[in-house]
Structure 1
Amino acid sequence: MSDAPEAITGLPPYEGIRLADVRLVKTAADAEAAKAALLAADAIGFDTESKPTFVKGESSDGPHLIQFADDRKAWLFQVGDAFPHLAAVKAILESDLTLKIGFGLSDDVKRVRAKLGIEPLKVVDLGVVLRVPGQKNDLGAKSAVAKYFGQALTKSKKISTTNWATPRLNEKQILYAADDAQVALRVYRHWIGIGNVLPPIKPPKRPRIGKPASPA
């Protein structure tokens, strides 16, 4: 199923998370509370956002936002030049007891590894897991919501390409980011609930280390 708009025309809208159920992590106490809640879950939603680049050859220095969700709430961690909540995020992502569920997580994992030195464990990319035999492309969140819930998930390109590095996120950014994390968890819960079994999780691919130079 395509993520193109015409593929989901006519479906009722997906009802995402409420703003009241989203927490912007600002203090050490906020980070500890988020860590405790998330690590108490067997599975959590996970995603990141990065400030877009518009200049040819320019590389992103993201992630600028890391978002997690359990079945009821979402937590957003803003990643600036100083990131006082690194220990909490590292503990969450490197836990081998809690599954991290998301769509298209390859780049997210690479970015948190490169920028923060975190090696996420127990990562489940639903885009890959939900592919059916003969399907070449990964399944996107919009297609998954249409397929499993019969609803239309709205993902605004205008919001997705906003400045995620800004210190003050607006309401639309907050809800977009929180939904990205929680919708993956909701799809996973439904998919497991209808009798599917998660395949074995492969260990993370570590970056190749160049061969040492031959002695002269």
Structure 2
Amino acid sequence: MKNIPEKYKRKYSKEEINALPLRRYSGPVSLVRTEEELEAALTDLRNEELIGFDTETRPTFRKGKMNLPSLIQFASQETVYLIHLGWVPFSEGIKEILSDSDIVKTGVAVRDDIKDLKKLADFNDAAVVDLGEVARELGMETHGLRNLAANLLEFRISKAAQCSNWSNLELSRQQINYAATDAWVSREIHLRMRELGLVTF
């Protein structure tokens, strides 16, 4: 296990997090809803070595019922792509990105995201890094995305849109901001961990 400064090990209280400045992703967002937009996104993503990764699924309030992912978020160095599965299919090109061992896909609880995507179509994932698992291995008390952002990046992110209806064909501005921020901040946390020498990939 790598050594991590003690200040990063501690758990942040809700009050401490709420006292931090609120940030959201403010760069370019591409809402992918056509085959042409998807191909352009995949062309860009194939040139990346690190991608922030997340999915969004319509919440279910019935016991035993599970919904499938509605949105896949990929954050490249320059752009966040929101791939809307209500408009475009879970294609071979998307599966190739998730299976490419030369492109690290990073986020929190991404093992669950991969498992859910495999319900749409089978593929062999590679180079998927769960930041929550990395945090546990480092002995950090903080494992969730909001807490890791507070701890390592010293700002807070909003989770207000988390339980909204992600299967809507038209996403609200709040949903777009939320989804883009989750993927972007995952990449930023990974870069910060790399800067601190906590991850080497």
Same fold (TM over 0.5): yes
Secondary structure of 2:166's counterpart equals coil
Q: 1:103 pairs with 104, 108, 121, which one?
A: 108
Cα gap change, 1:30 to 1:85, in 2 (>3 Å): farther
Displacement of 1:88: 2.1
Cα distance between partner residues in 1 of 2:123 and 2:14: 35
Displacement of 1:67: 0.8
Q: Which has the larger radius of gyration?
A: 1
Displacement of 1:30: 1.1
Cα distance between partner residues in 2 of 1:85 and 1:149: 32
1:162 aligns with 164
Structure 2 unaligned regions, length at least 5: 1-9
Q: 1:76 pairs with 55, 79, 82, which one?
A: 82
Question: Alignment RMSD, CA only?
Answer: 2.0
Q: 2:22 pairs with 13, 16, 21, which one?
A: 13
Does structure 1 residue 141 correspond to structure 2 residue 171? no
Displacement of 1:2: 4.4
Secondary structure of 2:77's counterpart equals coil
Cα distance between partner residues in 2 of 1:197 and 1:10: 28
Q: 2:130 pairs with 122, 125, 134, which one?
A: 125
Q: After the TM superposition, which segments of 4 or more aligned residues of structure 1 sit over 4 Å from their partners?
A: 1-4, 132-135
Secondary structure of 1:111's counterpart equals helix
Cα distance between partner residues in 2 of 1:130 and 1:86: 32
Cα gap change, 1:34 to 1:74, in 2 (>3 Å): same
Cα gap change, 1:63 to 1:85, in 2 (>3 Å): closer
Cα gap change, 1:3 to 1:110, in 2 (>3 Å): farther
Could you tell me the TM-score, scaled by structure 2's length?
0.86
2:71 aligns with 65
1:178 aligns with 180
How many residues of Structure 1 are paired with residues of Structure 2 in the alignment?
192
Cα distance between partner residues in 1 of 2:104 and 2:137: 22
Q: 1:29 pairs with 33, 36, 47, which one?
A: 36
2:51 aligns with 44
Displacement of 1:85: 5.3
1:203 aligns with none
Cα distance between partner residues in 2 of 1:52 and 1:9: 25
Cα gap change, 1:139 to 1:110, in 2 (>3 Å): same
Could you tell me the TM-score, scaled by structure 1's length?
0.81
Residues 122-177 of structure 1, C-alpha deviation per residue, up to 9 Å, x if partnerless? 10000111235555x66111111111121122211xx1111111111111111111
Structure 1 unaligned regions, length at least 5: 200-216
Secondary structure of 1:130's counterpart equals helix
Cα distance between partner residues in 1 of 2:35 and 2:44: 14
Identity of aligned residues (%): 33
